Structure 1
Amino acid sequence: MGESMNTAVQTWVKTAGTMEWSPMPDHVSLFHREIVSAAEADALRVRASSVLCEKIGVGGAVLPHFHNVAEIIHITAGKVRLLCNGEWKSYQAGDTFLVPAGVVHSVANDDASPTEQISIFLPVEEDAPRNRFFETIRVPVPTERPLTEGNRQAGQRRVLPDESPEHFGREPYRIIDSVRGNDAWVRAYDAAGGE
């Protein structure tokens, strides 16, 4: 927390037109575009082996395999079958798989059209520091147009999950008042009426 803004570097953009679909010949009807390479991750000063956008054609599959890195797979389009802990199970767009290093897995298209997924490959390190939720610091730069979020006008309070380890279940929430910049910690009310 309390990180300062990095003004020494700039954001760069890789447009869809510059990232071509390439076949992955060790699998069936699998194509990928590399969103972030290991070298780009190094330039960002983060640990990542690769981030891919993958497309599996009708009848295609990422054949059973394992990695020496952890993989996070998020299905963005279609229905798939996942080889999960030795069993094939059905999943769909919006589902995410967390695959530890060394675990055999496979994803097969189970739809009438191509499926798509984002696959994030992360190094596994014994002595890596513990992860934590990130901090966002707003800066006073005007937007191009007035913004709204559902029934909430920009600048009104919103509630965000805390980075604490009890994030699942009855977690604390951090209230961010983006107009005044005030932070306050409160306990989330559970379905039975709160604490």
Structure 2
Amino acid sequence: MKAAIFATRLEADFAISAFGFKKIESENFEVFAADNSLLAVSGVGMLSAALCVQYIVRKFDISEILNAGACGILGKKGKVGDVFEIGKVVCADDFCKDEFFLSESPNTLVSSSRAVKKDEERMRYAGIADFVDMECYGILKSLSILNFPLENFSSVKVASDFSEGCDIKKNIPLVIKNLECAVSNFLK
């Protein structure tokens, strides 16, 4: 079974609607099913994402996972609304040293345990990555502990913001549907 993981309903609602997902539970995490696929809404942050992936992998027969959602642009690669396959994932936090290589894609994502809002923070992380989110590293670290084959994991992100002046909550509804093709290809 394939599973797509989104951080928020704001990010997931288009996929729930477009692919006919129906809610099957909401006690621990919102989990939706359609055909032979699941969609889970983890909540924001690495810890929530890590716990969510532990939950769905242990409860369901998951063979492939896609982490999809919004990300911030750190440098000059792309613009708001562009979709990126992630090739490498690192962590912004000092206590996380692992690097995860997902594909040949040249796009690097850094996950942070807190929102990266200030331009000076963006500039600091731009030295190690192209994009920033708050979940992907937590998912990967959790999957590695579960001995889940990481070659069966992928991540695709849509750029939602690029500076401290951007309104991410306003931008996500405007750009999130750009992920529809990538999510559709994964669910096939």
**Fold agreement, TM-score > 0.5:** no
TM bucket by the smaller chain? Answer: under 0.3
* Rg comparison, structure with higher value: 1
Q: Which has the higher helix share?
A: 2
Q: Which has the higher strand share?
A: 1
User: Scaled by the length of structure 2, what TM-score is found?
Assistant: 0.26
User: Scaled by the length of structure 1, what TM-score is found?
Assistant: 0.25
Q: Whose RCO is larger (CA < 8 A, sep 6+)? A: 2
